[in-house]
Structure 1
Amino acid sequence: MSATSIICTSLSFTWPDGTPVLTGLDAAFGPGRTGLVGANGSGKSTLLKLIAGELTPSHGTVRVTGESGHLPQNVTLDTGMRVDQALGIAAQRAALHAIEAGEVREEHFETVGDGWDVEERALAALGEVGLGRIGLDRTVGEVSGGESVLLRLAALLLRRPDVLLLDEPTNNLDLYARRRLYAAVESWPGVMVVVSHDRELLELVDRTADLHAGELTWYGGNFSAYEKALAEEQEAAERMVRVAEADVRRQRRELTDAQVKLARRKRYGQKMWDSKREPKIVMGARRRAAQESAGKHRILHEERLAEARERLDEAVEAVRDDEEIRVDLPHTAVPPGRTVLTLRDVRLRYGARVDGELRLQGPERVALVGRNGSGKTTLLRTVAGELAPVSGEVSAHVPVRFLPQRLDVLDGDLSVVENVARQAPDATNNHIRARLARFLFRGARADRKAATLSGGERFRAALAALLLAEPAPQLLMLDEPTNNLDMASVRRLTGALESYEGALLVASHDLPFLQSAGITRWLLVEEGVIRETTWEAIADPA
C-alpha cells in the first residue's frame, strides 16, 4: 500500500438544489487515526460519503488506496434482517451449514472459500464490541439504536478494510459501549478518519484536520493539542486585527490632515490671486503646482487607507466566528409539586417495567440512563403516545413534546420552513422565519430540503419544529439530544435548558451534558426495571 491512502484533488460538491458544500478541496489522509472536526454543516459527513463513494463529486476526484469501510452517522438497518445478514456472512454461513449437513455441492465450497471459521470470527467481532450475547440468528429489530451502531462496527471489524471512515460513532452508545469502541479505535492498524464531537474519542487520534470555510487545516496531535494550537492562532489573529484597526485609524487621521492642508492651500492661493500681489502667469503656475502636489498627497493617503482596510479585512477573516444555535425555549412554567407524569405498574414493550407508582412533579429535571437496549427510548415513546404499554397506566397531565433520537419528525422532501409550518399551522411565515434565524436558518438556508441537512442541522431544524409546535411543551422529552451537535452548540443548548421552566425528561449517555443541564433526579433502566438511582452510581458504573 502507498504511504497515502486517500487523496482528494480539487474536490467540489453541490447539492441538487444548488447549495455548495465543498469547493476545490485538496487533501491527503495517510496511515494512522485522523480526527476530522468542524462546525455543524461544514461538510464533514459529506466528505466521508465522497471518500466512501456514496456521493459523486460535482468536480474533482477522490482516490482511495485499498478497500474502504464507512460507518455512517445515521445507521439504518432493516428490522427484519438477521444479525448474520447485517454482518455480511449469511451466505457463507448457510453454505457451511449445508456442507455440515452432508450437501457436498461445489457451489457451497466456493461460497465458503477460506471462511471455515466465519462463525467463530463473527462471534469474536460481536464480542469485541460487547454484543457477544445477541448471537447470529436474532433480528435487527430486537436490538436498540446503539446496538445497531455496534453491529455495523462489528461488520467492519470482521471485514478489516484498509480505510475505516467513522461518522459520529459514539452517538447512541452507552458508557460501556463507548469504552468498547474506544478500544477498537486504539487498536485499529490501518487508515482511519473519524468525525466526532466526542472529546474522549478525539483524544485517541494521531492528528486533527479542521474543516472550516471549505478548507482543511492540519494539526499534529489529538484534540487537546488541536485546541491549544487553535487558541494560539486565534490569539495571534485577534492581535493582528487590533494592529490593523490601529493602522486604519492612523491612515484616516493622515488623510484628514492632508485634506485640511489642501483646503488651507486653496484658501491661501485664492487670497493671493484676489490680492494680485504677483503676475497672473506666476500665480497660475504656482496654483497648478500646488494642486498637483496636494492631489498626489491626497491620492497617496487614500491608497494607504485602502491598503490598511484590506489588511484589516484579511485579519478579521482569520478570526473565527463560528455561529452557535440560539435556542429560545418557551416560558412554560410548571408550579412545584404539580404532577406532570404518572406511571403506575407499567409494563413496556421489550420487557422494561415500573413496579408500583412513579411520578414526575413540577419543574423536575430527570435523567434516564441505562445500557443500550434497556428500554429508555421505548419509555419515552410510550409517554409520547407513540407506543401503547403492554399493561398499566401512563398519564401525562401537561402538554408533551418529544424529540426522538433519529430526528424522524422531519419530512425530508419538505424545506425547513415547511417542516416547522406543519407543527404550527397558525404561525405566520415571518414569525417562523424569525424563529428559525435563531437556529441559524437565515434566508435561503431556511428553504433547504430537510434531506440535504447535516446531522447537526437536522437537530436544529427538528428542535425548532418541536418548540414552535402548538401548544408549547410543559414536559419536554429529549432522546440523546447532543448526538449530532458540535461542542459550541451543546453549550448553547445547555444554556437554553437553564432557562426552561417546564419539566425535563432526557435520555442520554453524555454525562458532562447531563451535569450541566442541572439534573435533579436520576432514573436507571437496568435488568428490566426502572428505578431511582444517584449521580455517584452512574458516574462509576463499575
Structure 2
Amino acid sequence: MITLQNLTYIHPNRDLLFDNIHFTINSRQKIALIGNNGVGKSTLLRIIAGEISPAGGSVSINKNDVYFIPQVYGQFNHLTVAEALKVEDKLYAFEEILKGNASDENLECLNDDWTIEDRCNEALRYWNLSDIAFNQNLGNLSGGQRTKVFLAALMIHRPSLILLDEPSNHLDTESREKLYKYIKSVNATLLVVSHDRTLLNLLDMVLELTPKGINTYGGNYDFYLSQKEKELEALDHQIKSKEKTIKQAKEKERESVERKNKMDVRGQQKQKDAGVARIMMNTLRNKAESSGAKLKGVHEEKINTLSTELSRLRSGVQEFDQMRFNFQDSGLFKGKILVTGRNISYKIGEQDLFREPVSFDILAGDRIALKGANGSGKTTLLKMVVNAIQPNGGNIDSKIQDYAYLDQDYSIIENQLSVLDQAEKFNINGLQDHEIKTRLNHFLFDKNDWDKKCVSLSGGERMRLSLCCLNIRSKSPDIIILDEPTNNLDLQNINLLTAVLKAYQGTLIVVSHDTVFMQEIGVIKEIQL
C-alpha cells in the first residue's frame, strides 16, 4: 500500500511544484498517473521511490520492495547491463563460487540465490536481448534496447511495488505488446506515468495531477476521457450561465441607475417648484448622490464577484482550445504521384540494409505508416524520399520539392535562437512583426516567452513552436514526415498534434508505435521494411 499525506515539493530555486497532495493506492492496484508536462509526475514518482525528499507531508510505504524505472534517455549510458539490472554483485559472487571461491563474502552476497543467472538470461530472452552480454555498456545499445534492459530487471527481482515512468518510450510494436502482456499478468502494485493510451487502458484507475492537486477517476483511460468530457460540458454550461447572469446584472444595474436618475430629477424639480431653500436642496442632492453611489456599489460588487467566478471557470478550459490553425493547401491535387520506388536496396559496407528490395508509391494526400524494427532502415528510406540520399540499387523518382520533417526532438527548432527569432525564420511571406507575435500568441507563446531561448523549451513547447512556424510559413509543405513525434509529449500535447494533423490536407509519412495516434490521424497505408 502507498499512502501520501499533505505532500509538498519545492524546487531548489524555491518555486513551488505541488502542494497538499494526498492519495492511497491499495495492494495490487494498477494505477495511471497522468498530467501535463511540468506538473510534477516524475518528481512524485521519485519521492515515492525515496530518491528525493518532499518539503512537507509524508509517504507511507515499504521501501525495501519498491522498484522504480525512470524515463530512459541516455543518463545511464555509463552503466553495464549487469549494473542496470542491479545484479552485478550477485553475478560476480555466483561466478566466483562456481570457480571454487566459496568465501563467506561471496556466499553472503549471493544469499542462496542460485537461480540468479538463469533468471537474468530468461528475462533478457523475453525482451529479445539474448545476444547482449552482461558486461556490455548501455551506451552501445539503442534507446529501445536500453529501455528493455530496465524492464527485464522487473522479471528478475519480482518486486511487489513497481513505479514506471514512460516505460513504452522507444519500444517498437513487438516490444510494446510484450510490455502490455507483462502489465496485464504481473501480480504487483503498479503506478505508471505514461502517454501511451493503449497501456493506460490496461490500468484500473487514473490519478490526474494538476496544479490544484490530485483528481481521482475510478476506471481506465477511456473512462477518464468520458468523465472529462462530462466535466467540460458542465463547465461550458456553467460559463454560459455565468455570462448570462453577468449580462443580466449589468442590464439591471443600467436600469436601476436610469430609474434612480429620473426619480432624482423629478424630485429636484418638485422641490424647486415648492420653493425649498437652496441649502436644503443641496442637502437633498447630496443624499441622492450618496444613495446612487451605494446602489452602484452594490451592483458593481455583484458583477465583480460574478466576473471572478467566470474567470475561475474559464481557467479550467484547456489551453489548446484557444489555438488557431490556418494551413493553406499545398496546391497538389489528391492522387498525384509524388514518389515512386522500385526494387530499392542500400548497402552499408558490404551489408544490405533492407531485408529485401523495397517498392512503393506515395500519392498526394496519402497517410502512410513506415514500419520496421530498430535498424531496419526507416531513417535511410525517409532520406531517399526527400532526395537527401540515393539508393545503391533500384530506382526512386521523388518529385517532392517542399517538406517538413518533425522528429521526436522537433529538430527544426534551432536551440540558439529565441522563440521570436525562430518564428521569424519561417516568415517567407513578409508578415508584419505584430502578425508574427499574434500567431505566437495563438500557439500560447506570449510576450514573456518571445525572448526565451529555444534550448530551454520542453517537448510540448518545441512541438507547438514547430507547428507555429509552419503556420507562419502559411503554405503547407508537400509532405510532412513524423518520426516518433509523440515520444516526448504529454497527453494534452498529443491531442493538440492530432488535431493539427487532422486539419492538414497534405501527405503524411509517420514512423510511430503509438497505434491510437496512428488511427486518430487517419493512417491507412503502410510501407513495411
Whether the TM-score (by the shorter chain) exceeds 0.5 is yes
1:28 Cα deviation after fit: 3.2
Amino acid at match of 2:371: V
Aligned with 1:182: secondary structure? helix
Aligned with 1:148: secondary structure? helix
Partner residue, 2:249: 251
Aligned with 1:358: secondary structure? strand
Q: Report if aligned partners of 1:334, 1:362 keep a CA contact under 8 Å in 2.
A: no
Distance 1:276 1:118 in 2: 109
Q: Report if aligned partners of 1:41, 1:457 keep a CA contact under 8 Å in 2.
A: no
Q: Kindly indicate whether residue 128 of structure 2 is the aligned counterpart of residue 131 of structure 1.
A: yes
After TM superposition, the structure 1 = structure 2 runs for residues 347-496 of structure 1, keeping only pairs within 5 Å, are: 347=347, 352-353=353-354, 355-356=356-357, 358-363=359-364, 364-371=366-373, 374-377=376-379, 379-380=381-382, 398=400, 401-405=404-408, 414=416, 417=419, 420=422, 436-448=440-452, 453-461=457-465, 474-496=478-500
Distance 1:115 1:385 in 2: 56
After TM superposition, the structure 1 = structure 2 runs for residues 114-193 of structure 1, keeping only pairs within 5 Å, are: 114-128=112-126, 130-131=127-128, 133-137=130-134, 140=138, 144-161=142-159, 163-193=161-191
Distance 1:409 1:98 in 2: 52
1:211-268 per-residue CA deviation (whole Å, 9 max, x = no partner) reads 2334322222222332333333333333333332232223222222221122123322
Q: Report if aligned partners of 1:346, 1:393 keep a CA contact under 8 Å in 2.
A: no
1:10 Cα deviation after fit: 2.7
After TM superposition, the structure 1 = structure 2 runs for residues 12-31 of structure 1, keeping only pairs within 5 Å, are: 12-13=10-11, 22-31=17-26
1:72-124 per-residue CA deviation (whole Å, 9 max, x = no partner) reads 33432666865334323233223322332334455443443333221112233
CA distance 1:409–1:518, shift in 2 (3 Å): same
Partner residue, 1:75: 73
CA distance 1:260–1:224, shift in 2 (3 Å): same
Q: Report if aligned partners of 2:342, 2:358 keep a CA contact under 8 Å in 1.
A: yes
1:194 Cα deviation after fit: 1.5
1:448-474 per-residue CA deviation (whole Å, 9 max, x = no partner) reads 5666544433444566678989x9964
Amino acid at match of 1:266: D
Partner residue, 1:88: 86
Distance 1:344 1:70 in 2: 44
Amino acid at match of 1:337: I
Partner residue, 2:317: 320
Q: Provide TM-score, normalisation by structure 1.
A: 0.77
Distance 2:120 2:382 in 1: 33
CA distance 1:21–1:397, shift in 2 (3 Å): farther
Q: Report if aligned partners of 2:5, 2:20 keep a CA contact under 8 Å in 1.
A: no
Q: Report if aligned partners of 2:338, 2:398 keep a CA contact under 8 Å in 1.
A: no
1:324-349 per-residue CA deviation (whole Å, 9 max, x = no partner) reads 66566676556722437777322358
Amino acid at match of 1:83: V
CA distance 1:79–1:477, shift in 2 (3 Å): farther
Aligned with 1:251: secondary structure? helix
1:378-427 per-residue CA deviation (whole Å, 9 max, x = no partner) reads 65478789999898888866456543345577677x56628947986999
1:282 Cα deviation after fit: 6.5
Distance 2:256 2:420 in 1: 57
Distance 2:269 2:443 in 1: 64
Q: Kindly indicate whether residue 33 of structure 2 is the aligned counterpart of residue 36 of structure 1.
A: yes
1:145 Cα deviation after fit: 2.8
Q: Report if aligned partners of 1:474, 1:502 keep a CA contact under 8 Å in 2.
A: yes
1:277-301 per-residue CA deviation (whole Å, 9 max, x = no partner) reads 4566766665555555444434333
Q: Report if aligned partners of 1:411, 1:419 keep a CA contact under 8 Å in 2.
A: no
Partner residue, 2:515: 511
1:18-76 per-residue CA deviation (whole Å, 9 max, x = no partner) reads 9x57243423342322212223444433443454466676x546646315433333432
Q: Report if aligned partners of 2:338, 2:399 keep a CA contact under 8 Å in 1.
A: no
Partner residue, 1:339: 339
Distance 1:212 1:229 in 2: 16
1:142 Cα deviation after fit: 6.8
Q: Provide TM-score, normalisation by structure 2.
A: 0.78
1:477-512 per-residue CA deviation (whole Å, 9 max, x = no partner) reads 322222333455444434433565665322122233
Aligned with 1:267: secondary structure? helix
Distance 1:329 1:307 in 2: 40
Q: Report if aligned partners of 2:68, 2:163 keep a CA contact under 8 Å in 1.
A: yes
Partner residue, 2:224: 226
- Which piece of structure 1 moves more, 231-240 or 484-493? 484-493
CA distance 1:167–1:466, shift in 2 (3 Å): farther
Distance 1:446 1:33 in 2: 42
Q: Report if aligned partners of 1:328, 1:496 keep a CA contact under 8 Å in 2.
A: no
CA distance 1:509–1:348, shift in 2 (3 Å): farther
Q: Report if aligned partners of 1:345, 1:355 keep a CA contact under 8 Å in 2.
A: yes
Distance 1:376 1:64 in 2: 47
Partner residue, 1:262: 260
Aligned with 1:221: secondary structure? coil
Q: What is the RMSD of the two structures over their aligned residues, measured on CA atoms?
A: 4.4
Matching residue within 34, 45, 48 for 2:45: 48
Instruction: Give the paired residue count.
Output: 516
CA distance 1:352–1:197, shift in 2 (3 Å): same
